[in-house]
Structure 1
Amino acid sequence: MPRHVAVILDGNRRWARAHRRDLAGGYGRGGEKVREVLGWCERAGIGFVTLWALSLDNLRRPEEEVTPILDAVVSTVEELAAERRWRIRPVGHTRALPAHFAARLRAAAEATTGVPGPTVNIAVAYGGRQELLDAVNDLLATEEGRAQAQAGLTEELLGRHLYTRGQPDPELIIRTSGEQRLSGFMPWQSAYSELYFCDVPWPDFEEADLHRALEAFASRSRRFGR
């Protein structure tokens, strides 16, 4: 069983079009699915889950499209935090978000700091290249960090400044809705991740789909390049 499963929540827009719903309705249904999937992961004993809800590139869409989607995503995070079953951690370039949305995400994370349950990373305004830039800039932001970098940049040193620092890398990455690419998702952490692609859009993802992904993971021989 993987310790850390990451999921690219793809297909909310397609689901909304197929069901004649607006985008906010599609993402709202996707938010309901998040709670279900986290429950399944919890029962399976998975301690870390990362959900990529909204990319940094998505924020470049028209404001009238992005705002209701952001509201749906952040409202889902707040509802998860209110249950106090999971330790919520927003991961992403959150300074790119409108200030009130970023504040709501921070508040949700702070409200679950002491929760002993599984850790759930919510990737909002996430871009893989941006994460690496943020890690380097964070490292170089202090005199101590600059001295460490000058002495020799190592994988361990840079890893301590990633969004997911202190967590195991995802052993399994699932992408829904049929696309077979990572689109820049966790480029550092996914070096040895097993990839699983399924055709169903995220709002239609079911427990059987998760179990198929976990069974596929269990059947693979992870050799880490050796």
Structure 2
Amino acid sequence: MDGNGRWAKKRGLPRQAGHKVGAETFRTIATYCKDIGVQYFTVYAFSTENWKRPQEEVDALMNLFRTYLKEAAETMFQRGVAVRVLGDLSPLPEDIRAQIREVDGIADRLGPDAATASLCINYGGRDEIKNAVRAIAREVQAGALAPGDITEQTIGAHLYTAHMPDPDLIIRPSGEVRTSNFLLWQSAYSEYYFTDVLWPDFKTADMDAAINAFNKRNRRFGGV
């Protein structure tokens, strides 16, 4: 969800204002995705590197999670969308972690086949792989797993996204052309779509354009 700060700056507003509008955009696009049949919609909300931002902005983002997480989960539950949170949640304030547990409980009421909107909070692709490797190493150390039995599926089962398929399409708004440490393992064969639209300005028509572009791709997955 890139471009919130630049959106606010263009309007002479504090960066926090852009994050607030970006949160509303998330809710709009997530429910639209469910309506058009997209099963999984995952957004990058706060990276492991975002702690380096000015403390005022970090505090504003944490307060945004406090304000919107549970409320968004309850609202989207009414639309049949399960909200999930992915990432290393241990550094987050305890009140936010408690709210995430409540959000998980709301999502569980919809069942495993519900359309899912996931927020990646304190997430980094490299950090995710590191944590997966550590978990697998502990299983090997305990004698529960032999090194020769480790497969790609073993690694996938230890990622935050173990409950969902790899992404078909990754949309990068705001004019940046890089992966920014997002779903590194999972995106091996994802199609990328880049747009100059800043996230707060991202509309359902922009989602349609991305999907239409995706539908024109010839996906070979290494074959011919």
Q: Report the TM-score when normalising by structure 1.
A: 0.90
Alignment of 1:55 onto 2:52: no
Aligned-partner residue type, residue 179 of structure 1: E
Shift of residue 130 of structure 1?
Answer: 0.3
Q: Give the whole-Å Cα distance in 2 for the aligned partners of 1:151 and 1:161.
A: 17
Alignment of 1:76 onto 2:73: no
Q: 2:208 aligns with which of 211, 214, 217?
A: 211
Shift of residue 77 of structure 1?
Answer: 2.2
Q: Give the whole-Å Cα distance in 1 for the aligned partners of 2:55 and 2:143.
A: 38
1:219–1:98 CA distance, 2 compared to 1 (3 A): same
Supply the RMSD in Å over aligned alpha carbons. 1.7
Alignment of 1:153 onto 2:150: yes
Alignment of 1:180 onto 2:172: no
Q: 1:12 aligns with which of 4, 10, 20?
A: 4
Match of 1:6 in 2: none
Alignment of 1:120 onto 2:156: no
CA contact (8 A) 2:140 2:147 kept: no
Alignment of 1:37 onto 2:29: yes
Aligned-partner residue type, residue 35 of structure 1: R
Match of 1:5 in 2: none
Aligned-partner residue type, residue 163 of structure 2: G
Match of 1:4 in 2: none
Match of 2:81 in 1: 86
1:122 match: secondary structure = strand
Shift of residue 146 of structure 1?
Answer: 5.1
Structure 1 segments (4+ residues) deviating >3 Å = 140-147
Match of 2:19 in 1: 27
Match of 1:102 in 2: 97
Q: Give the whole-Å Cα distance in 1 for the aligned partners of 2:84 and 2:144.
A: 29
CA contact (8 A) 1:74 1:105 kept: no
Aligned-partner residue type, residue 31 of structure 2: G
Q: Give the whole-Å Cα distance in 2 for the aligned partners of 1:153 and 1:162.
A: 14
Shift of residue 24 of structure 1?
Answer: 2.0
Task: Note the alpha carbon deviations across 1:32-69, whole angstroms, 9 max, x for none.
Answer: 11111012101110011101111110012232220111
Shift of residue 103 of structure 1?
Answer: 2.2
CA contact (8 A) 1:140 1:149 kept: no
1:67–1:218 CA distance, 2 compared to 1 (3 A): same
Question: Is there any run of 5+ residues in structure 2 with no aligned partner, and where?
Answer: none
1:81 match: secondary structure = helix
Shift of residue 111 of structure 1?
Answer: 2.1
